[in-house]
Amino acid sequence: MESTSLFPHFSFWPQLTSAQQTKLLSHTNTQSLPKGSLLHSGNADCMGVLLVQEGSLRVYLLSEDGREVTLYRLRQGELCMLSASCVLEAITFDIFIEAETPVTISRINAAVFQQIMEENIYLKAFSYQLIAERFSDVMWRMQQILFLGIDRRLACFLLEESASVQSPQIHLTQEQLAKHLGTAREVVSRMLKYFVEENMVTLFRGGVTITDEEKLRRLAQPSF
Amino acid sequence: MESTSLFPHFSFWPQLTSAQQTKLLSHTNTQSLPKGSLLHSGNADCMGVLLVQEGSLRVYLLSEDGREVTLYRLRQGELCMLSASCVLEAITFDIFIEAETPVTISRINAAVFQQIMEENIYLKAFSYQLIAERFSDVMWRMQQILFLGIDRRLACFLLEESASVQSPQIHLTQEQLAKHLGTAREVVSRMLKYFVEENMVTLFRGGVTITDEEKLRRLAQPSF
């Protein structure tokens, strides 16, 4: 696969001059990495902007006691701006990025990306919009998990229900789960999506099936 | 004061067409509110983009048990985009905004702001950059407070030191405090800035003075 063939799919691409396009392409390197590779840890060196050509990256925070919170995943065709925190003065917190599957990624040189961002308002708007969208998602999750304990409460409730019906299949709608937890259906819906991504449950029409009871149990334990 | 006299100070202003400038101005309403007014709570109605003409707004999160985390403050000449979450599809979490002092604020109609943002790439880039900068700051604080407990640990340490020297004045540099807490000087420096804004301590060269022991003590107690 031509390493940079995904660029033309981005909305900013046609707005770049040919010189800018050429410059971006010539400062992009593509490499393949095995599953489990750590691409970025804490406030390490600036690795530039990452473009996922194949596979999946997991972006997460790590607490001092080793607890992880997955912020989001990046899949084929998605750009990671946070790995270029050196480019964006606005970004001041530390994240970790690992290859969740074997991956092929392109790294765009941070300084070159920054220079074109300053020259081209379309690339600037695109980049900051991408960050704002990710951040909103992350803030929501941080608030639900760390501030309101919704993840722990939902995990507890599912385990109790499962024990009570003696089955991993729980026949309760998201509306009903929300009522039990005293929260909104949308909150339950988004948190269940997170549980699914973390391979702890699967969903069926009108209910939830626990697929990794041990992992759910670890989550249910208060960690503070 | 002419309610909208602050607009020309923003970098996007000269990039708007006169028609766009006129439209923004004619859909902006200015009002004064007493200290303590709650301007925005949770996922309430869309109040539009706020511009602080005078005074100070506090933006915060509220947990289910009533615990607050101040995200940031907005002062004269600053714009609040989060109050216009209806404008920005990217914003999906709930915040509270209160007047910390008597305030005069201008509200820009959300639909009009959104329309001009779609027409004008400069306003779009400006808006998303502002959000990205706020979010980064907020993420950092959320991580330090909720994930690493730095606020609680620093509060505990200051109280213990103060008790040991029998004085509210603690003669330890930020470098020394960081070593005691096993973290970076920059982390201590930014957290102390937060403590100062919350009126719990003041700083002097080479040390910290506790000004509200009771508030610091509440913070030092584990809330999980």
Instruction: State yes or no: pLDDT of A177 exceeds 60.
Output: yes
The verdict on a CB contact (< 8 Å) between A88 and B132 is: yes
Residue partners of B45: CB distance under 8 A and separation at least 6: none
How far apart CA B71 and CA B95 sit, in angstroms, is 9
Q: How confident is the model at residue B99 (pLDDT cuts 50, 70, 90)?
A: very high
Q: What is the DSSP letter of B91?
A: -
Q: Is residue B28 within 8 Å of B108, Cβ to Cβ? A: yes
Find out if CATH 2.40.170.20 is the number for domain A3-146: no
Q: Is B148 helix (H, G, I), strand (E, B) or coil?
A: coil
Q: Which residues of A touch B93 (CB under 8 A)?
A: 136, 139-140, 143
Q: Which residues of A touch B68 (CB under 8 A)?
A: none
The verdict on a CB contact (< 8 Å) between A132 and B133 is: no
The verdict on a CB contact (< 8 Å) between B90 and A129 is: yes
What pLDDT does B104 receive?
A: 94
Instruction: Please give the class, per CATH, of domain B148-220.
Output: mainly alpha
Q: How confident is the model at residue B224 (pLDDT cuts 50, 70, 90)?
A: very low
What pLDDT does B1 receive?
A: 45
Residue partners of B96: CB distance under 8 A and separation at least 6: B38, B40, B41, B42, B59, B60, B61, B62
Q: B60-97: per-residue pLDDT in tens? A: 877 666 667 778 888 888 888 776 665 555 455 567 88
What are the boundaries of each domain within chain A? 3-146, 148-220
pTM above threshold 0.90: no
Tell me what ipTM this predicted complex has: 0.70
Instruction: State yes or no: pLDDT of A201 exceeds 50.
Output: yes
How far apart CA A146 and CA A195 sit, in angstroms, is 15
Instruction: State yes or no: pLDDT of B216 exceeds 50.
Output: yes
- DSSP-assigned letters across all residues of B41-62: -TT-----EEEEEES-EEEEEE
What pLDDT does A77 receive?
A: 87
Residue partners of A18: CB distance under 8 A and separation at least 6: none
Q: A20-61: per-residue pLDDT in tens? A: 999 999 999 999 999 999 887 665 567 788 899 999 998 887
CB pairs under 8 A between A and B: 95
Q: Which residues of A touch B61 (CB under 8 A)?
A: 143, 147
Average pLDDT over residues A188-207: 92
What string of H, E and C letters represents the secondary structure of chain A?
A: CCCCCCHHHCCCHHHCCHHHHHHHHHCEEEEEECCCCEEECCCCCCCCEEEEEECCEEEEEECCCCCEEEEEEECCCCEECHHHCCCCCCCCCCCEEEECCCEEEEEECHHHHHHHHHHCHHHHHHHHHHHHHHHHHHHHHHHHHHHCCHHHHHHHHHHHHHHHHCCCEECCCHHHHHHHHCCCHHHHHHHHHHHHHCCCEEEECCEEEECCHHHHHHHHCCCC
Q: What is the DSSP letter of B87?
A: T
Tokens representing A41?
Answer: 């840890």
What pLDDT does A40 receive?
A: 74
How far apart CA B178 and CA B180 sit, in angstroms, is 5
Q: What is the DSSP letter of B82?
A: G
What pLDDT does B85 receive?
A: 62
Cα R_g (chain B), whole angstroms: 20
**How many percent of chain A have pLDDT more than 70?**
84
Q: How confident is the model at residue A224 (pLDDT cuts 50, 70, 90)?
A: very low
How far is the alpha carbon of A167 from chain B, nearest alpha carbon, in Å?
31
Q: Is B154 helix (H, G, I), strand (E, B) or coil?
A: helix
The verdict on a CB contact (< 8 Å) between A129 and B133 is: no
Q: What is the DSSP letter of B145?
A: I
Max mean pLDDT among A177-191, B112-126, B174-188 falls in B112-126
How far is the alpha carbon of A166 from chain B, nearest alpha carbon, in Å?
31
Who has greater pLDDT, A110 or B224?
Answer: A110
Least confident of A5-9, A108-112, B154-158: A5-9
The verdict on a CB contact (< 8 Å) between B139 and A143 is: no
How far apart CA B30 and CA B10 sit, in angstroms, is 18
